[in-house]
Structures are given as structure tokens and as C-alpha cells.
């Protein structure tokens, strides 16, 4: 299992969220299209249909890969290779079991699917290709939520 729940995953990795621009989407579609760094990618939204509103957002971008390859240099690249797929390279910022945060110009929280593959170490330069779909977790703006709670009457908060 990669995650306990979407909420637990967000809590664990929110400090590695990426700045993104979300675009509008057809009603009922589970995919959101967004700009992350210089790449336009489609993500399978994991946080519900109304959390991803068009405009600026913080996202945990969570591609999955079968394996990482070590790279000679720390070139940071992020490019879409198809619907819900990407190719990226960068430096490992943080590891937690089979989940690795890679700085590819923006942070990507990458899940390693192949149990026989070895996870890279922090500071290592890596490259990988994702398998679809790429998961996306919209990180709520806690400051906005706290301000809204202060402004609501007790009846409105329920």
C-alpha cells in the first residue's frame, strides 16, 4: 500500500507541494489539467471534485514509477509524455520507504511500484518515467480555512 488515506498522504507530504496553475475541466472528469513548472500535465485528482478550482494552487504531484535510473548530472527536467504520464530527472530531496521526493524544478513525490527495485538515496541524481495515471492531491490553504471559521457563526460552521 502506498498511502493510508489521501488525508494522511497530504499531511505527510504537504511540505513538498508544488505551485501549480489549474485549468477548468469538464464536469465529472477525474483528471485535472495543470501547469507545474514548465510542463502541462494531467493528474488523477485524489482530493474530491470540488477541491481543484481553476487558478493558482498547491499540489502534491505523485507519479508512480517501476524504477529509478541514476543520472550522471543533476539536470532538472519535467516533461509530459502523454495523457497522465511524464518523464523527469532531478535530485532526491527526501525518502520515506518506497516514496521519494525528487526536485525536478518542482518537487515530485514519486512512488516506487516495483518491490524488487531499489529506492535511491537522498542527494542522488535520478531520472524516471511514470506509469499512468499521475496522482494529484490539492493541498488546502489552512490560513483561508482558519479565517473562514473565525468569520462563521456556530450555526454556519455545521
Mean per-residue pLDDT pooled into runs of 10, the chain (158 residues):
82 97 82 93 83 88 96 88 94 95 97 92 96 93 46 44
pLDDT of 49 reads: 63
Q: Confirm whether 117 is domain-assigned.
A: yes
What is the tally of structural domains in the chain? 1
pLDDT on residue 52? 72
| Structural contact between residues 39 and 85, judged by C-beta atoms closer than 8 angstroms | no
132 in a domain, yes or no?
Answer: yes
Q: Is residue 55 part of a domain?
A: yes
In a domain, 156, yes or no: no
Residue 56 included in any domain:
yes
Helix (H) or strand (E) holding 14: none
Return the pLDDT at 142: 67
Q: Closest Cα to residue 61, out of 95, 99, 117?
A: 99
**Whether 126 contacts 95, CB under 8 Å:** no
* 71 found inside a domain: yes
Q: Evaluate whether residue 62 is within a structural domain.
A: yes
Looking at residue 147, the DSSP 8-state letter turns out to be H
Is 158 within a domain? no
Quick count: other Cβ atoms within 10 Å of Cβ 157? 9
Domain that holds residue 15: 6-151
Kindly report whether the global pTM for this prediction surpasses the value 0.75. yes
> Residue 48, exposed/middle/buried by CB under 10 A (0-12, 13-18, 19+)?
exposed
Q: What is the DSSP letter of 140?
A: P
Amino acid at each position: 500500500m502506498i498511502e493510508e488515506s489521501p488525508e494522511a498522504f497530504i499531511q505527510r507530504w504537504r511540505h513538498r507541494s508544488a505551485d501549480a496553475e489549474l485549468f477548468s475541466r469538464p464536469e465529472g472528469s477525474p483528471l485535472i489539467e495543470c501547469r507545474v513548472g514548465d510542463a502541462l500535465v494531467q493528474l488523477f485528482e485524489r482530493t474530491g471534485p470540488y477541491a481543484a478550482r481553476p487558478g493558482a494552487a498547491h499540489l502534491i504531484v505523485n507519479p508512480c514509477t517501476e524504477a529509478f535510473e541514476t543520472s550522471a548530472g543533476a539536470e532538472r527536467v519535467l516533461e509530459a509524455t502523454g495523457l497522465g504520464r511524464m518523464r523527469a530527472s532531478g535530485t532526491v530531496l527526501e525518502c520515506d520507504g518506497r516514496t521519494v521526493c525528487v526536485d525536478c524544478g518542482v518537487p515530485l513525490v514519486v512512488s516506487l511500484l516495483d518491490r524488487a527495485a531499489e529506492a535511491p538515496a537522498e542527494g542522488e541524481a535520478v531520472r524516471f518515467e511514470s506509469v499512468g495515471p499521475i496522482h494529484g492531491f490539492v493541498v488546502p490553504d489552512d490560513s483561508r480555512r482558519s479565517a473562514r471559521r473565525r468569520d462563521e457563526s456556530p450555526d454556519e460552521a455545521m
